[in-house]
């Protein structure tokens, strides 16, 4: 595929990326790794917005089942988890020398700016990292769906899904030795085969707006910058049909 430098990207980072293996909360080393890589990108010509998950703090669906509370309430609790991750990332980025702004889909002016599209675009144009927290501000929507929505709203060139796996596989490579890693997938194949790239709502939105998704392992130092520079890392999911 043709190598290209992305000018504006949406980086989706799961909440689990902020914690160590088998841990919850925020691990200082993991936070530093994420912030250092993003800071390098921010120092270049590309503009970057970041959607953070909150699974290291609270998973709404799981909490609803465990506590027997309404899922809408549990989902709002999960959104607060993303805000805590966003606050930590903003501080880490500023310590690394980057300008960053935290925007929340739920109004909490004491700690974050409210998400307004034009405001986010202005921050990006000024070279600031825009951290997007609290999901879409609505229950029953995942942060994957939020990432797709914000990437489309902000006219991003690509949605980058940062994971600790080096792409999309036909099965879980941790349990299936025969799992095959894909270099390229069409949206249709990703949806039809239920490969777990992102949730179906997010995939459908990206397919409708022809927004490519790249899934890659961010834990390898320098990978975020390499992906934005156009290196062929991980798995690309787009509107074109994969060749045999």
pLDDT in tens, 131-168: 999 999 999 999 999 999 999 999 999 999 999 889 99
pLDDT over threshold 70, residue 70: yes
pLDDT at 104: 98
- The dihedral of CA 82, 146, 121, 43: what is its sign? positive
Q: Could you give the domains of the chain?
A: 8-238 (3.40.1160.10)
Average pLDDT over residues 115-144: 97
Give the confidence band of 64 by pLDDT, cuts at 50, 70, 90: confident
178, exposed or middle or buried, with CB in 10 Å at 0-12, 13-18, 19+? exposed
pLDDT at 244: 43
pLDDT at 1: 45
pLDDT at 3: 59
- The dihedral of CA 186, 192, 198, 204: what is its sign? positive
pLDDT at 5: 84
Confidence (pTM):
0.93
Non-local CB neighbours of 108 within 8 Å, separated by 6+ positions? 83
What's the angle, vertex CA 23, arms to CA 41 and CA 64, rounded to 5? 100
Average pLDDT over residues 67-90: 95
Average pLDDT, the chain: 93
pLDDT at 74: 93
pLDDT in tens, 184-203: 999 999 999 999 889 999 99
């Amino acid at each position: 595929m043709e190598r290209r430098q992305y000018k504006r990207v949406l980086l989706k980072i799961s909440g689990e990326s902020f914690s160590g293996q088998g841990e919850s909360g925020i691990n200082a080393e993991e936070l530093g790794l994420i912030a250092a890589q993003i800071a390098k990108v921010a120092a270049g010509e590309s503009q970057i917005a970041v959607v953070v998950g909150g699974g290291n703090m609270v998973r709404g669906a799981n909490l609803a089942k465990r506590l027997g509370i309404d899922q809408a309430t549990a989902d709002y609790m999960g959104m607060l988890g993303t805000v805590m991750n966003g606050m930590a990332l903003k501080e880490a980025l500023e310590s690394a020398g980057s300008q960053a702004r935290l925007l929340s889909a739920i109004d909490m002016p004491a700690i974050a700016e409210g998400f307004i599209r034009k405001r986010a675009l202005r921050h990006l144009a000024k070279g600031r990292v825009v951290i997007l927290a609290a999901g879409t501000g609505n229950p029953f929507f995942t942060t994957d769906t939020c990432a797709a929505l914000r990437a489309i709203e902000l006219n991003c060139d690509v949605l980058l899904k940062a994971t600790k796996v080096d792409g999309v596989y036909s099965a879980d490579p941790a349990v299936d030795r025969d799992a095959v890693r894909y270099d390229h997938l069409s949206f249709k194949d990703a949806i039809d085969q239920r490969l777990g790239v992102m949730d179906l709502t997010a995939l459908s939105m990206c397919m409708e707006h022809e927004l490519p998704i790249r899934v890659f392992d961010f834990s390898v130092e320098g990978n975020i910058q390499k992906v934005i520079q156009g290196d062929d890392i991980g798995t690309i999911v787009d509107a074109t049909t994969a060749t045999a």
